[in-house]
Structure 1
Amino acid sequence: MTRLTAPFLDDPALKQVLAALAAGGAQALIVGGAVRNALLGEPVADVDISTSARPEDTVRLAEAAGLRSVPTGIEHGTVTVIADGRGFEVTSFRRDVETFGRRAVVAYSDRIEDDAHRRDFTMNALYATASGEVLDPVGGLPDLAARRLRFVGNPHARIAEDYLRILRFFRLLAWYGREAELQALAACRELREGLTGISRERIGHEIRKLLDAPDPSRAVALMAEAGVLPLVLPGADAGDLPDLVEVEREYGTGALPCWPRRLALLAPQDAEGALRLSRDEARAQDHIAAALALPAPAAAYRFGRASAAQAVLIRAARGERPAFGWCHDLARGAAAQFPLTARDLMPELSGPALGEALRRAEAAFVESDFTLPRDALLRIALQHEARA
């Protein structure tokens, strides 16, 4: 018998919720990512609960134990139970009666096997009791041990229930897998056109999480081979992604987020539209792309230290290693202050001529590595006017 030992099992709030359900005779089990991650020694974020209790019984049992409940997804069998100020999603065992893509007619069940067969991947269909005993209705433990990503049951059927599972497959492969089942890969390739009916917001959510994996390069390469990458990110080129991951390990990335840099390296034709990027996210992509065309100090001056650093790492992945002291160059560029303002050129200049003069002087300031003094910049700004 496999037994889970994880700190969250000693969480008093979790124990309260499980005990409240068990007091009514219901089976109450920890399920999914918490079990998977704990067995892999990975961090556990959220703890979800699966139960044989019907939603109305979950509410009744929670209230009887002095806990508050919120019907956050009661139409899907989910009730959020609040204990010690924290919410735990409690979902009733269900079985599919009929499926229509993402929509399904379901019936509640008393059997863990029925609930397990509704789940996407075998490593996500693992359950644990309050004492840590692991229950494995669909053979997920051997797959987890091998880091093998496999759909529960027929992969074509699982994907047809929700085509976003194609991207979840590659995302989980990037985070937790070493081996992708061949049948699963074939199904992702054959059914990839189903992704055209998925909202760009949902696709963007998955791609962000995939690209944030420690090393997504193999998963992204498999996406490209399966024809999925060009479908969701037209024009993307993942050839340099393994080198970027190596560069990140060599130079360190500090507080810089991974996915914007990796997305900029892929350089899809329309990342903003393809992934429904926010305005700030799209601006960051534009800044990184522009910074790639400039020396590091100039990029830091124009677009900020973070965007310039992202560009330095991307260039390094493409074979252009940064010069010694590049971090100091970025800091110097980001701290540089252009010493002229429009007021300094007035009333001699106004309108378009004023703007052009400031741009000319600022370009000279940057080209001089931020060394030209104010008087020299004034002469450069006014030289065109003097010639006129």
Structure 2
Amino acid sequence: MNALPGLRDGRLADRRLLETGRLARALAALNGEGEETRLVGGAVRDLALGEAVGDFDLATTARPEVVMKRARAAGFGVAPTGLAHGTVTLIIEGKPIEATTLRRDVDTDGRHAKVAFGRDFRDDALRRDFTINALSLTLDGIVHDYVGGLADLVDRRVRFIGEARLRIREDYLRILRFFRFSARYGDGRLDSAGFEAAIAEREGLAILSRERVRAELMKLFVAPRAPQTLAAIGEAGLLQPLVAGQTDWARLARLAAIEAASETAPDPLLRLGALCVRIEEDSERLRERLRLSNAEAERLAVVARGLADLHDGETPPGLGALRRLLFERHRQGALDALALFHADSGAPPNDWRFARARAFLSATPEPTLPITGADVVARGVTHGQRIGATLKKLQALWIRAGFPREPEALARLLDEALKP
């Protein structure tokens, strides 16, 4: 097995996290007197890969009441956030660390599990979802691997622990987690046993809350191999039911290539738009299906309206069309619409014309109509309804004229708008 960058001979190469800081303090407080506590899960995986870690989860033989007693004695804040499942949150240096008593599942229904406390780290590892998430780290820096997770990290393989269909039936969200972790840590190929199990157990996705589905999809959208993974999910027929509509993973792949060419960080909501949004009604469907916030749904609606504007014009859009887009859809909406229009256009990801258009939208101040209702009133219009109609007509004339700001040009436009 090739070496992982964060490990040396099965030990953590850089042990500073275990010697100073809040993790070291937590482990020191909970270890000893017959109890053992380890760092577990994703943090160990990422440390083995040599990546930065911000969140820590601990597994311990100590029962919750012992954890709370020791934490308070060490001066930590304590929040009993999940006592039914053995979880206590320690507040150290103003940041949380979750400590969970070792446990085993007694019963599961595909969404929730009844657990019993235990004292065996191997049993705790065997109840986790994937081999790469079942690693644990002791205070001496040794990484404990009971299921071949380190070898799978080297091979960039995401694999269920044990029989994949049984693990999925314990929590059907694991189908989406399988795809997300494969897109993040895999090499582009999906583990065949896991993929076949996900397809076989697909009906279980229907019992998941829309909030949980949304959270997993948003994380999946920004993973390094999201386009390839979403294509595989879509071709297997698993994607459309999640969003209650048609999907276009090839369009999302083109957007991802454009983002890479422009060195733009992936945006999960815009990628959702690339996958699912063609018309404004799609945003409302996604709001309901994925429990989007009002702001998120409105952003997708603006994208759809902006796309409609652009598809009615030339490719790529000229400066006049871009100014109008910036005025009507504002900067975020204009940039979003341009990105999806680029993806729809068939132009290369690094097309210089679209790069120039993107730079224009990024740097140009948003146009604002330089005439207000007070200016209309000053010309003798007093009825509120007529003031609004005049401003609307004036705005259309101003856009058609190319957004002039010279007083003479504005006066002529206002004269024309005031005509019956």
TM-score w.r.t. length of structure 2: 0.85
1:358 is aligned to 2:366:
no
The 3 A distance-change label for structure 1 pair 237 and 331 is closer
Residue of structure 2 in register with 1:4 after alignment:
12
User: Displacement of 1:221 after TM fit?
Assistant: 0.9
CA distance in structure 1 between the partners assigned to 2:49 and 2:149 by the alignment: 13
CA distance in structure 2 between the partners assigned to 1:253 and 1:369 by the alignment: 30
1:74-93 to 2 correspondence within 5 Å? Answer: 74-93=83-102
The 3 A distance-change label for structure 1 pair 222 and 278 is same
| 3-state secondary structure, aligned to 2:249 | coil
1:229 is aligned to 2:236:
no
Query: Does the 8 Å contact 1:101/1:160 carry over to 2?
Result: yes
The 3 A distance-change label for structure 1 pair 367 and 332 is farther
1:213 is aligned to 2:228:
no
User: Displacement of 1:249 after TM fit?
Assistant: 1.4
The 3 A distance-change label for structure 1 pair 337 and 126 is same
CA distance in structure 2 between the partners assigned to 1:219 and 1:305 by the alignment: 31
The 3 A distance-change label for structure 1 pair 11 and 174 is farther
What whole-Å deviation, never above 9, does each CA across 1:21-79 have from its counterpart, x for those lacking one? 21222121111110111112233120111111111222233234343432111111111
1:143 is aligned to 2:176:
no
Give the partner amino acid of 2:158: L
Equivalent of 2:327 in 281, 297, 301: 301
Deviates more, 1:99-108 or 1:241-250: 99-108
The 3 A distance-change label for structure 1 pair 54 and 150 is same
TM-score w.r.t. length of structure 1: 0.91
Residue of structure 1 in register with 2:313 after alignment:
none
| 3-state secondary structure, aligned to 1:50 | strand
Deviates more, 1:51-60 or 1:133-142: 51-60
1:16-95 to 2 correspondence within 5 Å? Answer: 16-95=25-104
CA distance in structure 2 between the partners assigned to 1:331 and 1:239 by the alignment: 26
CA distance in structure 2 between the partners assigned to 1:43 and 1:366 by the alignment: 50
Equivalent of 1:289 in 297, 304, 309: 304
1:191 is aligned to 2:207:
no
What whole-Å deviation, never above 9, does each CA across 1:171-219 have from its counterpart, x for those lacking one? 1122211132111111111222212211111111111111122441011
Q: Percent identity?
A: 38
Query: Does the 8 Å contact 1:149/1:177 carry over to 2?
Result: yes
Query: Does the 8 Å contact 2:270/2:336 carry over to 1?
Result: yes
| 3-state secondary structure, aligned to 1:95 | strand
Equivalent of 2:252 in 233, 241, 245: 241
Residue of structure 2 in register with 1:251 after alignment:
262
The 3 A distance-change label for structure 1 pair 283 and 185 is same
| 3-state secondary structure, aligned to 1:89 | strand
What whole-Å deviation, never above 9, does each CA across 1:73-125 have from its counterpart, x for those lacking one? 11111111233333210111111222222222221111112111211111111
CA distance in structure 1 between the partners assigned to 2:50 and 2:343 by the alignment: 30
CA distance in structure 2 between the partners assigned to 1:113 and 1:199 by the alignment: 31
The 3 A distance-change label for structure 1 pair 106 and 342 is same
CA distance in structure 2 between the partners assigned to 1:222 and 1:289 by the alignment: 26
| 3-state secondary structure, aligned to 1:153 | coil
Give unpaired runs (5+ residues) of structure 1: none
Residue of structure 1 in register with 2:318 after alignment:
none
Residue of structure 1 in register with 2:123 after alignment:
114
Query: Does the 8 Å contact 1:58/1:79 carry over to 2?
Result: yes
1:315 is aligned to 2:323:
no
What whole-Å deviation, never above 9, does each CA across 1:133-160 have from its counterpart, x for those lacking one? 1101111111111111111111111111
User: Displacement of 1:375 after TM fit?
Assistant: 4.4
Give unpaired runs (5+ residues) of structure 2: 1-8, 311-320
